[in-house]
Amino acid sequence: MSLRIRRQIGPARKILPEQTIGVLIGSALLGTLRVAGMAQMMRAGLYRPVHVKTLRSQKLRMLLTHRKLLQSKAIAIDNDLRGTLRNFGLKVGVVGTVKFEARIKELVEDIPDLAELVEPLLIVRRTLREQIDILHRRLLAIVRDDEVCRRLMTVPGVGPVVALTYRATVDVPARFRNSKAVGAVFGLTPSKYQSGEINRTGAISKCGDEMTRAMLYEAAHIMLVRLAKWSWLKAWAMKIARHRGMKKAIVALARRLAVIMHRIWVDGTEFRWTREVTAA
């Protein structure tokens, strides 16, 4: 846990690690002495800058989180209807989002009591779906007018939602010294445990933004499983899948997607399907 000092200078907010406070001024110091020690640490420069998201990035993040929240509630209602009707021997079966409501009404049309209980959920579900469509159209309009998102979408497997999520999370690409650092920030690099002579490499750290990590994983999965068109990137990931398994290949590809998308953003280029560089 870090102790936030309410001092903002430019785009960075000063963060004072609580562990550092305990080491330098002692955890036993309280009140005035502790505050005086913290002030001295600020004067000595014992803090680190932390990026504060721009206002536009925060608005985009709100759009994405609200859309995701409504989606989760709509899915929860669908699953609840399926589960409760199954107790009465009524199986919904495989049905799409559009025909789901008609299928539910078809199952309960001869059972008035169930129809009365199901109707409120169907009304709420219908309203949720309408609002999801409104937010999704808003998202598509933003992506359509955003030059960075359009270039990010040239990467196979990256759609409007993935591109906008990545853009809102990274916010300012210049805050990363190099593109390889992006994968670590999103928790897509292996964790390390070191103690004495022990040096063990574990699974991915899963630190950083969970939504962006999930979106990158989804884009990598789509590229390997659904897309039929091959590229040098897919060939690289499939080679890993043959030796290490599909799950590890998807994670490795998600990390590399984060790196490539950052490079595309910084350089102002688009994704190249082959490694051959066309001469100018």
pLDDT in tens, 56-70: 999 999 999 999 999
* Reported pTM: 0.83
pLDDT in tens, 180-214: 999 999 999 998 888 888 888 888 999 889 999 99
Two structure tokens written together for 257: 């997607």
**Per-residue pLDDT, 199:** 87
CA 103 to CA 90: how far, in whole Å?
11
- Are the C-beta atoms of 260 and 183 separated by less than 8 Å? no
- Are the C-beta atoms of 181 and 131 separated by less than 8 Å? no
- Are the C-beta atoms of 118 and 104 separated by less than 8 Å? yes
Amino acid at 217: Y
pLDDT in tens, 83-107: 999 999 999 999 999 999 999 999 9
Return phi, psi of residue 46, to 5°.
Answer: -90, 65
